[in-house]
């Protein structure tokens, strides 16, 4: 896990022999490294070197603008550029959270985003792309705030700011771009309406306010433990035509994410996730040290797939199964429209699935299923191409070599019970 700019040592370009040209050169290099990080896949246990390089570059930029702010302002630095550096540091934290599921990183992203918002770095910017940059910043901050459950103050403020900014900046957008952002605003409104009934209810995450202490939770007795299996990896996938979502996070996957994480405790939970920053960028207390109880186990790694193709879903699943620890369990959550098939809810559905799988001939070019004998399935795509956009129970059988926990949220979930007869 990369350290935050506040935690890095005091050395490098920020100390001696500094020139404004070094800052601009490092800014270009950091932008290129940020682009490479943004293009990385969101799954995989091994952290790519690009993360460390990008963090190092933006750490140096942050320290340089702190120590030489007046000289950089004279050299042409603008406040929105300082805000963009902080926002990209926050985005790097969020990207690491996506790969590691460590809520400490998500909380650090929240702190940097909140500092940019409070200091209004993007307001009244004299750049022709300023409204678009400001909207992207607000949308990314809103996603982080939603994941951390900051529904009482931060989320309504951000949603209102996005709607107001878009109305005020309508003339600066092309028609197509304005329609895209208008659609985002509508997505936010639908998402918040769907989630509002849960605001004053018990949180989906484990919470010290509602749940017993971790050491009193029920565990598997040592005498019946076989392999000491733990939930280590999850794939959360949804595909519905008109589902409630914000960006690539549907409402059902959003709630699954919360169910698979421990509730932040410590000072971050007590002060609503934000401590006042001074202009030097220091934040107290250190969230990385005071966020979670050390007795809590780590969160499982989560890979979110929004409307993937069948081939992409199976590729990600095979990659994650290959990297699964020897004592790890893979949880697969599939939420999609189901196709009943001719066998319907008959008790022989499992036998039909296994029979068709046994009869599968890889050398045959013809379709293995016909309209007269169609298996129940999940649709991951349009229904124009028969079979190629479907997930059948038999598609998951090769992955039962590793411990799987299936959650099928569909009208055809009954058919996937047949997978467990292969264990």
> Count of domains in the chain?
2
Residue 355 in domain: no
Of 198, 222, 241, the position where a domain reaches its end is 198
Residue 7 in domain: no
Of 161, 181, 198, the position where a domain reaches its end is 198
Q: Which residues pair with 306 in a beta bridge?
A: 238
Q: Are residues 65 and 51 in the same domain?
A: yes
Q: Are residues 185 and 240 in the same domain?
A: no
Q: Which CATH number fits the domain that encloses residue 219?
A: 3.40.50
- Residues 190, 245: Cα–Cα separation, whole Å: 8
Residue 307's region, left for phi above 0, alpha for psi from -120 to 50, else beta, is left
Torsion from C-alpha of 30, 36, 40, 44, nearest 10 degrees: -60
Residue 193 in domain: yes
Residue 172 lies in domain: 20-198
pTM for the complete prediction?
Answer: 0.80
pLDDT 10s digit of each residue in the chain, 423 long? 444 444 443 444 444 557 888 899 999 999 999 999 888 877 777 777 888 999 999 999 999 988 888 888 888 888 889 999 999 999 999 998 988 888 888 889 999 999 999 998 888 666 667 888 999 999 999 999 999 888 888 999 999 999 999 998 888 888 999 999 999 999 999 999 998 877 666 666 666 666 777 667 676 666 555 567 888 999 999 998 889 999 999 999 999 998 888 765 544 444 444 443 333 344 433 444 445 566 677 889 999 999 999 999 999 999 999 999 988 999 999 999 887 665 444 445 455 555 555 555 444 444 444 444 567 888 887 765 556 788 988 899 889 888 899 999 988 888 888 777 655
Beta strands in 1-133 (DSSP E): none
Q: What CA–CA distances, in Å, run from 373 to 13, 218, 324, 349, 388?
A: 69, 45, 36, 11, 16
Residue 288 in domain: no
Q: Are residues 107 and 152 in the same domain?
A: yes
270 closest CA partner among 214, 208, 211, 217: 208
Q: Are residues 34 and 125 in the same domain?
A: yes
Tell the residue number behind the tokens 């070197």, with chain if given: 49
- Residues 359, 401: Cα–Cα separation, whole Å: 20
């Amino acid at each position: 896990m990369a350290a935050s700019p506040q935690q890095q040592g005091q050395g490098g370009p920020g100390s001696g022999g500094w020139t404004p040209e070094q800052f601009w050169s490092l800014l270009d290099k950091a932008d290129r490294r940020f682009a490479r990080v943004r293009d990385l896949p969101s799954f995989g246990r091994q952290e790519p070197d690009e993360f460390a390089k990008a963090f190092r570059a933006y750490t140096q930029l942050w320290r340089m603008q702190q120590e030489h702010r007046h000289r950089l302002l004279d050299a042409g630095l603008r406040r929105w550029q300082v805000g963009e550096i902080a926002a990209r540091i926050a985005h790097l934290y969020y990207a690491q959270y996506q790969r590691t599921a460590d809520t400490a990183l998500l909380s650090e992203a929240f702190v940097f985003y909140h500092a940019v918002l409070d200091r209004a770095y993007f307001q009244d910017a004299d750049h022709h792309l300023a409204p678009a940059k400001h909207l992207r910043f607000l949308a990314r901050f809103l996603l982080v705030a939603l994941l951390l459950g900051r529904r009482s103050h931060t989320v309504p403020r951000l949603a209102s700011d996005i709607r107001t900014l878009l109305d005020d900046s309508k003339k600066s957008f092309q028609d197509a771009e304005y329609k895209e952002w208008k659609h985002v605003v509508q997505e936010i409104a639908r998402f918040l309406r769907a989630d509002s009934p849960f605001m004053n209810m018990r949180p989906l995450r484990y919470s010290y306010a509602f749940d017993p202490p971790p050491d009193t939770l029920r565990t598997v007795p040592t005498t019946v433990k076989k392999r000491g299996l733990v939930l280590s990896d999850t794939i959360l996938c949804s595909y519905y035509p008109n589902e409630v979502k914000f960006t690539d996070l549907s409402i059902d996957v959003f709630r699954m994410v919360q169910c698979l994480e421990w509730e932040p405790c410590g000072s971050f939970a007590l002060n609503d996730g934000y401590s006042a920053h001074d202009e030097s960028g220091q934040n107290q207390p250190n969230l990385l040290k005071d966020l979670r109880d050390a007795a809590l186990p780590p969160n499982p790694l989560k890979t979110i797939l929004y409307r993937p193709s069948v081939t992409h879903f199976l590729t990600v699943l095979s990659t994650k199964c290959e990297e699964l620890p020897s004592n790890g369990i893979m949880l697969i959550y599939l939420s999609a429209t189901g196709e009943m098939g001719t066998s319907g809810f008959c008790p022989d559905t499992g036998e039909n699935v296994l029979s068709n799988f046994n009869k599968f001939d890889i050398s045959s070019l013809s379709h293995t299923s016909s309209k007269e004998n169609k298996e129940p399935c999940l649709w991951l795509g349009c229904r124009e191409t028969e079979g190629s956009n479907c997930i059948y129970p038999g598609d998951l059988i090769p992955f039962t070599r590793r411990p799987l926990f299936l959650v099928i949220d569909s009208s055809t979930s009954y058919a996937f019970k047949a997978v467990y007869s292969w264990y």
